[in-house]
Structure 1
Amino acid sequence: MNWRAISEDGPGPTWAGLFAEYWPDYHRWWAREGPEARPGYLDSRKALRAHMPELVGLYDRLCDLAGGTDHAARFLSFYCPPPYLSSCSQALWPGAEPLLVRNYDYSAKAFDSLVLRSNWQGRAVMGTSDGLWGLVDGINDAGLAVSLTFGGRRVVGDGFGVPLILRYVLQTCDTAEQAGRVLARVPTHMSYNVTVVDARRRFLTALMAPDRPAVITHQAVATNHQDRVEWASHARFTETVERERYLLRRLTLHVEPQEKFIGAFLRPPLYSPRFDEGFGTLYTAVYRPRRRQMELRWPRARWPLDLHDFREDMRVIYTPDGTPAAK
């Protein structure tokens, strides 16, 4: 994986270049069932305006930078995209300092490998990119950090791809309470668990679904199911229950040092070597809201990033034998 850390304050030539680079692959994925399977442009923009109106101007600007084509605009709306699955773990360290740690288990062939730092609409945000303006985890200048896991349900409905919902949270919210209100009202196309923590260590996990109201909980751990397992074969394959129990034991026995807690994500059962099956642990992310910092980790490498002292860079991560190393 050729990881990059890229910064651009406002949407401009850098973002346009990224879109041109990634679009052929994203277009094949988005149109794999035929473009008629996805909502039209007018319906997509109408849904965005209804549920995330603060993003409409930014969306229009990105559509222009993407060339203004119908397919690109519909893709960038994130409205009713094709279904996709991941297998992730996330948890909050129980110590005094707010600390969110997550593993992202997914296919390296369908991943941006990109940390994007932006200052869109006057709000500084950095996080792990998905779809070039969505995020699978991130932090903003208010010290609000957010991360997602797949919720382990097959139901697909009318709603947005959750990476854009995470972007919306970070663009518009300062606190976990504000984020909870957003996550309770914005429709998602699949089931996801979204954990949010702010600089005062207030946190929540939203259990989002397309066919029932979101449930806002005080859970400090999320894997790949919600209140109960509803997709048994997926649960067995991803070991979601086992990973949840493992994390809960670590949280309840005692408050262990930060480094020991983070290190647990770099080893089984949390760390997954299933790269050939599309569910290997591509990275571990550590978010420190008070410091406005994130760090990407692998078993033999780490990459610190600071929202207010962001350094563009590139890292090559090799996973030929399931044991990542960096160059």
Structure 2
Amino acid sequence: MEPFIVDVHKWTDTNYEIGRKQLQSITDKSSYLVFLNSLTSSEVDWEEGTSLLENFAPHLIEEIKGLGDQLNLSYQEAFRYFSGYDLPKLGALGCSSIVTTEMLIRNYDFSPDVYDYKFAVKNSENAYSTCGYTVHCTGLHEGVNEHGLAIALHFVNNHNQQKGFMSTMITRMVLDTCKNLEEAVDLLKALPHAACYNYSLGDTNGNIAIIEGSPERVVIRRGQQAVTCTNHFLEMNEYNRKIETSTHKRKSVLEESLHSQDDLFDIFTTPGKGLFYQDYKDFFGTLHTFSYDFNLRRVKTKVAQGDETLEFSLDRLTNDEPLPLSKLKGYIEEREGAKE
């Protein structure tokens, strides 16, 4: 077993300063840049990408500038590393979720080798306040904003990947700029998608949906009481991977698991119940569980096999109260998994 520790942050500042603060703890900048360089391409069209950000989320340009200045990078270099635009293909990942009119709950499954180890509240004047697990500082795996709009991403395929934003940056832009499901749907239709992902969403008005996003088109699948989501499309099935055993298996488990937030949280976080995976070496291990209760306005999250759970009211996104924990501690235990 290996310790697995995630830092918990709350940043209230300008987007530029939030960018700088995210990297203040980096002591070995050279090694960090080598890591970022391994995940990105030097051929990124930063001018086109910047134009898109200016149109959809201009505040993120300031955050990228802050990140770059903290590492002594030019804006072009910082854009390459932190914009989530026109990135090379990454390995396949898992992710399972349930969205009902009462809650969203999901597991994020991938490798700890490509992970920020940060859960953050970001509160700035030029975007809605959000919380979630960060990706390359600017992106989000999932999260909820001050209006109670919640979203999670789910990898489907990247074989036909094209120039556009990665799902993690799309998730961030949705939470930063949208109040409800309808606004999120409009944005998801307008943004250029680099690869095929599902997005599970819900809002405080009881609206829930799964968005199937690809570089060519976007399909909306609305739900009335509950929707479940894993790593395959139901409508655009021509984009699915050929081997999908695990994603269908997890979807069956989800459809039999419609309980309260606390009961579901136990199912998602406990090995052996069909949703917690431990095949970390093959990029298919559960790293964290995130949930949001729309009625109670309660965030509840936990890292892999952690002893402590971070719980707080949505009001903490915008008020001066600190979050209850400064770290989430768990551990990674490799076992034989059931990857796709």
Please list, as runs of the form range in 1=range in 2, the aligned pairs for 1:26-37 lying within 5 A after superposition. Answer: 27-32=33-38, 35-36=41-42
Match of residue 180 from structure 1 = 185
Partner Cα separation in structure 1 for residue 207 and residue 70 of structure 2: 37
Assess if the C-alpha contact under 8 Å between 2:106 and 2:289 holds in 1.
yes
Distance 1:22 1:203 in 2: 43
Query: What is the aligned partner in structure 2 of residue 88 from structure 1?
Result: 95
Q: Provide closer, same or farther for how the CA distance between residues 112 and 21 of structure 1 changes in structure 2, counting only shifts above 3 A.
A: farther
Contact 2:107-2:289 at 8 Å conserved across structures:
yes
User: Normalization by structure 1: what TM-score?
Assistant: 0.84
Q: 1:25/1:75 Cα in 2 relative to 1: closer, same or farther (>3 Å)? A: same
Residue 260, structure 1, aligned to residue 263, structure 2: yes
> What CA deviation, in whole Å up to 9, does each residue of 1:283-303 have, x standing for no partner?
111112344432223456342
1:241 aligned residue (245, 248, 265) = 248
Instruction: Report what 2:159 is aligned to.
Output: 154
Counterparts of 1:58 and 1:124, CA distance in 2: 14
Indicate whether 1:15 and 2:16 are aligned: no
**Superposition RMSD on alpha carbons, in Å?**
2.6
Partner of 1:106: 110
Number of the residue aligned with 2:85: 79
Deviation at 1:75, TM superposition (A): 1.6
Cα shift at 1:42: 2.3
Q: Is the 8 A contact 2:199 2:212 kept in 1?
A: yes
Q: How far did 1:24 drift?
A: 5.2
Asked if residue 231 in structure 1 is aligned to residue 241 in structure 2, the reply is yes
| SS of alignment partner, residue 112 of structure 1 | coil
Cα separation, 2, equivalents of 1:208 and 1:35: 23
In structure 2, distance between residues paired with 1:294 and 1:23: 33
Aligned match of 2:5: 2
The one-letter code sitting in structure 1 at the alignment partner of 2:274 is: P
Indicate the larger mover: 280-289 or 6-15. Answer: 6-15
Determine helix, strand or coil for the equivalent of 1:31.
Answer: helix
**AA of the residue aligned to 2:164:** G
Rounded to whole Å, the distance in 2 between the matches of 1:114 and 1:303 is 15
Q: Displacement of 1:61 after TM fit?
A: 4.2
How many angstroms apart in 1 are the aligned matches of 2:98 and 2:281?
26
Higher helix share: 1
**Contact persistence 1:149–1:193 (CA under 8 A):** yes
- Percent identical: 22
The residue type paired with residue 67 of structure 1 is: N
Amino acid at match of 1:174: K
- Following superposition, the deviation at residue 249 of structure 1 comes to 3.5
Q: Is the 8 A contact 1:7 1:312 kept in 2?
A: no
Q: Relative to structure 1, is the Cα distance of residues 16 and 276 closer, same or farther in structure 2, using a 3 angstrom cutoff?
A: closer
- Structure 1 residues 276, 285: CA separation in 2 closer, same or farther (over 3 Å shift)? same
Q: CA deviation at 1:134?
A: 0.8
Q: Distance in 2 between matches of 1:21 and 1:174?
A: 37
Quick one: distance in 1 between partners of 2:127 and 2:219?
A: 31
Report the 3-state secondary structure (helix = DSSP H, G, I; strand = E; otherwise coil) of the residue aligned with 1:166.
Answer: helix
284-293 vs 182-191, which moves further = 284-293
Contact persistence 1:80–1:158 (CA under 8 A): yes
Opposite residue 134 of structure 2, the aligned amino acid is S
Match of 2:128 among 119, 123, 126: 123
From the superposition, tell whether residues 180 and 54 of structure 1 become closer, same or farther in structure 2 (CA, over 3 Å).
Answer: farther
